Structure 1
C-alpha cells in the first residue's frame, strides 16, 4: 500500500518548498517507502485535517487547535498522523526493515539536534523569507498567508526584509547561528553526522537547505551567500542526499 503525504504546493516546478514537509519527504525517499503527494493549499490545512481526522499538532494563542503539515495517511495501518518528528518515529517503528532514521538508539540525541537547529535560525532572516515564500505560493494560499502574517507583524511582508547595514547584521547573526550546527559536521568522518550513513538529523538539516535554495532560488544572491559559508556544507549536504529529493 502507498502512503499519502500531505504537502503545501507552490508555483515552482518542484512543487515542494516547506522545510517541515521536506523532512518527511526526505525520510520517505530515504527509506524507500512508496508514497504519493496530496497538495493542500495553505488555507485548507485545517479543514482538510479535520475532515480526515488528522490530529492537531499545537494550540493557537486563543487555545484552539492548530493543524499543520506535514501529515501522512498510511492505509496499511489506517494511521493519520501529523508532525515531522512523530511521523519519523512512526516510520521507524512501522517499517523496521527500511534504512534506519534513528540507528543505535540515537532518537533522543537527534531530537536535541533538531531543537538546536530551530533555536539557531535568525528571526530577522526568517521574517525576510516570508515574502519569498508568499511569492511562490499559489494565489489563494499567498493571500491567506499574507493576511495572517501582515496582521501579526503590522507591516507588509516586503517591509520586514532587513536592508543595508541591518541586513548585513542579520545575515551575520544567521551565519554564526547555523555555524553552531555546521561545526558538528567537522567532528565526523564522512558527509553525515554519523559518518557515511545519513540519519534523521541530516534530513532535518537538508530540509532547511532545500527551503533556502527553493524559496530564494538556486541562482539567488541569498543562496550564493549561504553556500559560501561553513566550507560549503549546505550545498554539499544536498549533493550527498541528491538521490532522495524526488517529489512524487
Structure 2
C-alpha cells in the first residue's frame, strides 16, 4: 500500500526488501517498540530522511505523508479519516480475509527465501491462523461459495463508486485515496500470487468495475 501512496504523491523513495526473519531485527534497529497482537513487528514501515521520521502501518503512513507533504495529492482528505478507517474495517478487511486462505500457501512457498524463513513463517502464521497452511485453501464447494462472496463484495464496492457519478472509478471521489491503495493492493495480490486462472482472479478479471479499476490504478503500482 505505501508503494501506491508514494507513487500517487510522486515522492521519490528507495525500497529495502526484508526476509520474514529480518523484519524484527530491522524494526529494532530503527528503534521501534513491539506492537500488540500475534506479530510483534510488522511492515510496511517507512523512514523519511527529510524529517528523520519513522512511521509504520499503512494508514498511519498515508496520514503522515499528507501532513508532511501537503502540496502533493492527498490520500486522506481533511475530515475523512474516520470514514476511511471505518471503510477499511467494514469493507476492506473482510475482502482481505476472504483471500487469506488461498494466498497463505503461495506466500509461504514463493516469498520465504530460506529454511529459517520457512520455519519462522510456519511457526508464527500457523499459530495466528490456528491451522496449517495445507489445511487453509478453500475446498471445492467452499471455494465456489468464497468466490461468489468475493464477487458480491466487489459488487458492493462498485455500487459505492457509482455514487461518485457517471464514469467514476475511485472509491472516494475523483482521485485515488488510501482506500483505493488498500483495495487495489488486495486485487493485485490475488492476480500476482494466485495467477489469472484462480477462481478469485477470474472474478476480478470478469468484473467490469474491478478490471477497469486495476487498469487505472496500474499507473501507480
Give SS of 1:80's match.
strand
Partner of 2:155: 179
Give SS of 1:81's match.
strand
**18, 37, 43: which one aligns with 1:60:** 37
Partner of 1:90: 64
- The 3 A distance-change label for structure 1 pair 236 and 211 is same
Aligned partners of 1:126, 1:233: CA distance in 2, in Å? 22
Aligned partners of 1:123, 1:242: CA distance in 2, in Å? 23
1:233 Cα offset (Å): 2.2
Q: Is the contact made by 2:205 and 2:211 (CA closer than 8 Å) also made in structure 1?
A: yes
Aligned partners of 2:118, 2:205: CA distance in 1, in Å? 28
**Bigger strand fraction:** 1
Partner of 1:76: 50
Q: Is the contact made by 1:209 and 1:235 (CA closer than 8 Å) also made in structure 2?
A: no
- The 3 A distance-change label for structure 1 pair 237 and 124 is closer
Aligned partners of 2:178, 2:26: CA distance in 1, in Å? 27
Aligned partners of 1:195, 1:124: CA distance in 2, in Å? 26
Partner of 1:26: 4
Aligned residue-pair number? 217
Q: Is the contact made by 2:19 and 2:113 (CA closer than 8 Å) also made in structure 1?
A: no
Give SS of 2:7's match.
helix
Aligned partners of 2:122, 2:81: CA distance in 1, in Å? 36
Q: Is the contact made by 2:147 and 2:203 (CA closer than 8 Å) also made in structure 1?
A: no
1:212 Cα offset (Å): 1.2
| 1:134 corresponds to 2:108 | yes
Aligned partners of 2:5, 2:96: CA distance in 1, in Å? 26
Q: Is the contact made by 1:122 and 1:170 (CA closer than 8 Å) also made in structure 2?
A: no
Aligned partners of 1:118, 1:238: CA distance in 2, in Å? 15
- The 3 A distance-change label for structure 1 pair 143 and 92 is same
Structure 2 gaps of 5+ residues are none
Partner of 1:150: 126
Give SS of 2:124's match.
helix
1:129 Cα offset (Å): 1.7
Partner of 1:51: 29
Aligned partners of 1:55, 1:218: CA distance in 2, in Å? 39
- The 3 A distance-change label for structure 1 pair 237 and 165 is same
Aligned partners of 1:178, 1:192: CA distance in 2, in Å? 13
Alignment of 1:166-205 (within 5 A): 166-189=142-165, 190-205=168-183
Normalised TM-score (structure 1): 0.78
Give SS of 2:54's match.
strand
1:187 Cα offset (Å): 1.3
Give SS of 1:73's match.
strand
1:119 Cα offset (Å): 4.2
Normalised TM-score (structure 2): 0.86
